[in-house]
Amino acid sequence: MSTAAEAAPKYTAPASIQVPAEQFPAPKVTRKNLIDVVSQEQVQRANVDGRMELFSRKNPNRIQPGSVLLVETLNSKAKESTSTFMGVVIAIRRKGLETTFTLRNLVMKVGVEQRFALYSPMLKSIKVLQQAGSKDIKFRRAKLFYLRDQPGKAFQSLQSLWKQEQAEKVAAKKN
């Protein structure tokens, strides 16, 4: 093997292998913490638009159960079309890269729940329409599964929020 650096072959990936555009230097690992460090690195990479901050435990402005979110997801990578779903956060499951949250809404009088993986590449954006945690909108549970049987007033504001959101969209398009 020649000592000259120019003789070293450059790696060209064939079509079936992709090389991620951003190559991060390898983190320091010991025998015991490898899986934690690697998982944390994966989360940092998947955290493209700061969505980790929305669900971190320490952030004072984090999304709490009972907030109303509007989530936009890509239908497929090939097409530009997206689906939106608005609902009340009834559960947040924090498992690092596999963190998921569940939204519930009443769609044509039928209760619909949808679970989203926070770091999925198909999840385009999360918009907070109503933040929970203030005096009047406060839920004293981490998981709001009781809303399935006793919705109370939790879903009443969703209609008006949706109309508000549509109006904002139209106004933004005009501008």
Partner 1 sequence: MVEVTCAIFFGKSPKFFTSPENSNIGPLIAMNSLTKLLPSITSAVATRSSRPIISACFHSSVTARQAASTADQQPAWTPQSQRVGVIARKKGMSTFWDEWGARMPTTILQLEDVQVLDVRTEEKHGYTALQVGCTNKKNVTKPVAIHYSKLNVEPKQSVAEFRVTDDALLPVGTILNAAHFVPGQYVDVTAPSIGKGFAGVMKRWNFAGLPASHGVSLAHRSAGSTGQRKWPSKVFKGKKMAGRMGGKSVTVQSLKVLKIDTELNLVYVKGCVPGFDDQFVKIKDAVKKHGAKRFPSDTLPPPFPTVKDADLQAMPRELIANSGEGKDPFTTKE
Q: Which residues bind partner 1 (CB under 8 A)?
A: 1-3, 7-11, 13-20, 23-26, 29, 31, 34-35, 38-39, 42, 74-79, 97-98, 117, 120-122
Task: In angstroms, give the least distance from the CB of 37 to partner 1.
Answer: 9
Q: Which is nearer to partner 1, 76 or 175 (CB)?
A: 76
Q: Which is nearer to partner 1, 9 or 50 (CB)?
A: 9
Q: Which is nearer to partner 1, 8 or 167 (CB)?
A: 8
Instruction: Return the residue matching tokens 């983190």.
Output: 27
DSSP label at 9? Answer: P
DSSP label at 141? Answer: -
Task: In angstroms, give the least distance from the CB of 155 to partner 1.
Answer: 29
Tell me the three state secondary structure of residue 114: strand
User: Cβ atoms within 10 A of the Cβ of 1, count?
Assistant: 5
User: What are φ and ψ of residue 154, in 5° steps?
Assistant: -65, -35
Task: In angstroms, give the least distance from the CB of 148 to partner 1.
Answer: 26
Four-residue CA torsion sign, 131, 136, 142, 144: negative
Q: For residues 65 and 142, give the distance between their C-alpha atoms in angstroms, rounded to a whole number.
A: 6
Q: Which is nearer to partner 1, 35 or 107 (CB)?
A: 35
Task: In angstroms, give the least distance from the CB of 49 to partner 1.
Answer: 16
Whether residue 10 contacts residue 19, with contact meaning beta carbons closer than 8 Å, is answered with: no
